[in-house]
Each structure stands twice: as structure tokens, then as C-alpha cells.
């Protein structure tokens, strides 16, 4: 089944996805994501402003949904918290401008892409087929990537001169065949992501889109590529996401079934007998899960503890304004990294924490309700679950540039639910 973009907005979205590997090959993905976000949001704003005066195939699909307004307000609050933190800690105008540009390439995208998805007339199948194009190129290139460490090819191919635009680090502009895991000295693959755990979560997102694909051949390509990314990245978080983020959304309709409640009650009652044994098994599984990468678990836990203590004692409301280098015990990794929520508390305080928590909770609630009603809510719920999972191991804002198709789906879903309101005129 062919999917042909029907307007300029769909062509931009479709072709940008289809060219993902090409952009990665020149180290440009970190530039493309923010530019795309601001262009699409600008096009959405123009569509709203011009109304019927704009060309018919670009007219706004309706008003901005309330949850998208929440995302926009939340990300503006993030910017305000950033400015207040910089003033409180006397970082100076230069640092404030640099951090503001960072906000425009990170946190702002968490609102810009849902806005574009809600307003622009882009169909779901365009996003889905665009992801399948990524999957196809992933499968084509995988044999080369897998063979690279065994035939003596280098880890890093090159770092793009585009790094001059600035970013979190050179890995965002680098092209890799693979990387060596320092704990086990075995190869891990990151595909078109800056590092392997993030590649695994991108694989989860790809699986979610593949499950929405109607064409069996493309669906098979998508699921195969997703599994390759998740397993080759050797990420624990990816394995959890593969199961949870695909199964839970499809199980949600069961909450409306009486037999499901009866089965659940029976299972709950049985825990009076088997509960202690299950608890021991679960505890052993969690311990094994953590021990699989013990050094990583230790560093992350220490970073979170330091971030929490310094947030409570030094900058409760507006945070420290920016991450700071950690001590030797955390291998000098920045305090505020590797965990969105502790990072927000450290960098932007309670204000920044709530600025993300409120729209995420709202959007998740919408997806949960709609997934319980029918299949339309499965993809947005899976995406929200992936974002939540990602937030406990990564900083979502610096990865929004790669998650944009999912963020646009959230906006599209908010629009679909707003269209369902009986009082809509």
C-alpha cells in the first residue's frame, strides 16, 4: 500500500524521516531536529493566523488543544526558571544567552512539535510510513555495522564540522560504526543515535509505529529493525520498553471487561499464598538487572543522590541554572544528567519539575483514557510510556530532536480527542 504525502507539511515530515540515515551520515541530525521543529511550528502559527486565506491543503485542523497549551506554557516556564537560576547564581549574560539557545534546541521542542502535530493537516499514516523508511535503511546498513568491530574498522568514522553550532557534546555530531562497552569490552551499536541506550528507546518507538503499519511487508520490516536496534544496543531499558510499551496499551481495553476484573481479583487473592515467593523472585530479578551493568547503576544512583541533596539544600525553587561537573566518584559526569527528574530539580528546581510534570501527566491521562476506549490511543500511550521510561535514565530534552515524530503524534492525538467533544462547534 502506497502512502503519498498530500501537502507540503506532509512532504516535509515524510522526507525528513526518510532521510534520517543520510542526515546522520553527515552528522547533521542535531541541527535538523531543532530547525524542523521551529519551521513546522512557524508553519502552524501561520496557518492559524491566516485562516482561510492560506492554501486549502495547509489550513489549520482546528484550535490548539488545551493539553498542547499546557506543553507550551510549561516550556515557557522552563525558560523563565532558567533565567531566574542564572540570575541567582550570577552566571552572566553570555552564559544566559548560550543556555537560552540550548533551551530553543531542547525544551522548546517538547512544545513545538505537539503544536505542529495538532494544527497541521498531517495524517497518521505519513508518520508511520516515514518510520518504516528509517527501518528499511537500518536493516540495509546493519550488516556493515555488525561486521565493523570484527574486521578492524574504527569506532568513530568522523565528527562533523557542524559541531561548531554548539551542542551537548561531540557525540551528537559524530558518525559511529559501533562503540566498545568499557565494562565488558564488547561492542555495542548505537545506529543513528548518539549512544546505545538511546538507540534502544528509538527502537521501542520504531516498534510502536510498526505495530500501526497496515501493510504487512512494511510492518515486518519495521518490527525487525526495531528488534535489531534494541538487542544490538544491549540496553536494559530498551528490553523493558519493548515489553511494557507495546503490551500495556493493547491491554488497556481489558479494564472495561468484567471478566478481566474477575481474573484480576483471583490473581490478587492468590498472592496471599504465593506473594512472598513472587516478591523474592522479583527482588532477585531487579538485583540481576542492576548487576548486569553494576558500574552504570552505581554512577547513576550517586548522581541522583548528589543532585537531590544539593537541590534541597541550595536551590529549591529555581535550581542551579545549569548542570555542573560531578566529582571523581561519578567519573566527572555532570550533576543533573542521566535522569530527567533529578536533573530538572537540580538545574531548574521545583518550578522546572512541575513545568514538565503537569503536561506529561495530562497527556498520559488522555492517552490512557483513549487507549481504554479503542485502538486510537495505543500509539500515543506507547509513546508517553517510552518518554516516561526514558526520563528515568536519560535527559529527554536533549533527545527531543530525535523523538519528534512521537511528539507530533501526541499533538495529533490531542486534536483527535478535542474533535470528539460534543460541545465542539
- Tens of pLDDT, residue by residue over 168-209, are 888 899 999 999 887 778 899 999 999 899 999 999 999 999
Which element (helix H / strand E) includes 327?
Answer: none
Give the whole-angstrom CA distance, residue 161 versus residue 163.
5
Angle between helices 340-373 and 378-391 (to 10 degrees): 160
| Residue in 212, 384, 214 with CA at minimum distance from that of residue 226 | 212
- Residue 270: the pLDDT is 54
Is residue 9 within 8 Å of 59, Cβ to Cβ?
A: no
| Residue in 177, 240, 229, 234 with CA at minimum distance from that of residue 203 | 229
164-168, Cβ contacts within 8 angstroms, sequence gap of 24 or more:
165/31, 166/98, 166/101, 166/102, 167/30, 167/105, 168/398
- In order of 30, 72, 134, 225, 392, the CA distances from 340 in angstroms are 19, 18, 27, 27, 6
DSSP string, 272-287: HHHHHHHHHHHHHHHH
Taking the alpha carbons of 38, 40, 43, 45 in that order, is the dihedral positive or negative?
A: negative
| Residues of the chain with confidence (pLDDT) below 50 | 259-264, 267, 271, 275, 278-279, 282, 284-286, 289-292, 425
DSSP string, 138-182: HHHHHHHHHHGGGTT--SEEEE-GGGGG--S-GGGGEEES-EE-T
Task: Take residue 106 and report the three cell numbers written for it.
Answer: 531542547
pTM of the model: 0.89
99: Cβ–Cβ under 8 A, 6 or more apart, which residues?
Answer: 82, 86, 91, 321, 322
Give the whole-angstrom CA distance, residue 235 versus residue 227.
12
Give the whole-angstrom CA distance, residue 377 versus residue 354.
25
Task: Show the DSSP H helices in 318-403 as ranges.
Answer: 340-373, 378-391
Cell 542564572, located at residue: 86
DSSP string, 100-146: HHHHHHTTTHHHHHHHHHHHS---HHHHHHHHHHHHHHHHHHHHHHH
- Residue 276: the pLDDT is 59
- Residue 393: the pLDDT is 81
Is residue 412 within 8 Å of 130, Cβ to Cβ?
A: no
- Residue 40: the pLDDT is 97
| Residue in 331, 321, 340, 323 with CA at minimum distance from that of residue 392 | 340
Give the whole-angstrom CA distance, residue 346 versus residue 311.
5
- Residue 290: the pLDDT is 47
Strand partners, 324: 335
- Residue 236: the pLDDT is 84
Phi then psi dihedrals of residue 28, to 5 deg: -110, 0
> Mind listing the pLDDT tens digit for each residue in 251-264?
888 875 654 444 44
User: Residue 320, SS3?
Assistant: coil
Amino acid at each position: 500500500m502506497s502512502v503519498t504525502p498530500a501537502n507540503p507539511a506532509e512532504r516535509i515530515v515524510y522526507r525528513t524521516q526518510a532521510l534520517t540515515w543520510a542526515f546522520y551520515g553527515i552528522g547533521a541530525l542535531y541541527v535538523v531536529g531543532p530547525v524542523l521543529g521551529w519551521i513546522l511550528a512557524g508553519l502552524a502559527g501561520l496557518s492559524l493566523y491566516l485562516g482561510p486565506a492560506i492554501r486549502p491543503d495547509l489550513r489549520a485542523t482546528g484550535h490548539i488543544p488545551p493539553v498542547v497549551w499546557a506543553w507550551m506554557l510549561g516550556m515557557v516556564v522552563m525558560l523563565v526558571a532558567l533565567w531566574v537560576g542564572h540570575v541567582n547564581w550570577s552566571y552572566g549574560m553570555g552564559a544566559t544567552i548560550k543556555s537560552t539557545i540550548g533551551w530553543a534546541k531542547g525544551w522548546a521542542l517538547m512544545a513545538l512539535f505537539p503544536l505542529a502535530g495538532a494544527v497541521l493537516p498531517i495524517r497518521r499514516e505519513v508518520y508511520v510510513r516515514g518510520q518504516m523508511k528509517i527501518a528499511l535503511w537500518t536493516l540495509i546498513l546493519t550488516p556493515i555495522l555488525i561486521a565493523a568491530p570484527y574486521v578492524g574498522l574504527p569506532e568513530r568514522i568522523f565528527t562533523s564540522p557542524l559541531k561548531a553550532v554548539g551542542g551537548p557534546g561531540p557525540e551528537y555530531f559524530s558518525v559511529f560504526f559501533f562503540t566498545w562497552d568499557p565494562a565488558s569490552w564488547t561492542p555495542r551499536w548505537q545506529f543513528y543515535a548518539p549512544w546505545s541506550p538511546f538507540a534502544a528507546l528509538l527502537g521501542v518507538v520504531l516498534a510502536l509505529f510498526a505495530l500501526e503499519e497496515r501493510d504487512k511487508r512494511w510492518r515486518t520490516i519495521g518490527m525487525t529493525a526495531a528488534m535489531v536496534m534494541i538487542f544490538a544496543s544491549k540496553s536494559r531499558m530498551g528490553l523493558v520498553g519493548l515489553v511494557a510499551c507495546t503490551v500495556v496499551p493493547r491491554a488497556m481495553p481489558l479494564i472495561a471487561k468484567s471478566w478481566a476484573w474477575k481474573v484480576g481479583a483471583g490473581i490478587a487473592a492468590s498472592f496471599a499464598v504465593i506473594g512472598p515467593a513472587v516478591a523474592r523472585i522479583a527482588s532477585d530479578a531487579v538485583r540481576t538487572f542492576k548487576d548486569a551493568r553494576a558500574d552504570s547503576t552505581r554512577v547513576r544512583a550517586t548522581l541522583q543522590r548528589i543532585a537531590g541533596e544539593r537541590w534541597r539544600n541550595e536551590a529549591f525553587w529555581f535550581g542551579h541554572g545549569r548542570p555542573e561537573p560531578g566529582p571523581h566518584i561519578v567519573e566527572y559526569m555532570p550533576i543533573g544528567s542521566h535522569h530527567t527528574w533529578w536533573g530538572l530539580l537540580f538545574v531548574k528546581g521545583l518550578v522546572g519539575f512541575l513545568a514538565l510534570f503537569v503536561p506529561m501527566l495530562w497527556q498520559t491521562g488522555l492517552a490512557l483514557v483513549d487507549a481504554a476506549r479503542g485502538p486510537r490511543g495505543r500509539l500515543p500511550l506507547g509513546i508517553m510510556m517510552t518518554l516516561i521510561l526514558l526520563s528515568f535514565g536519560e535527559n529527554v530534552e536533549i533527545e527531543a530532536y530525535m523523538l519528534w515524530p512521537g511528539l507530533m503524534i501526541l499533538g495529533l492525538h490531542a486534536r483527535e480527542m478535542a474533535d470528539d467533544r460534543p460541545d465542539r462547534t
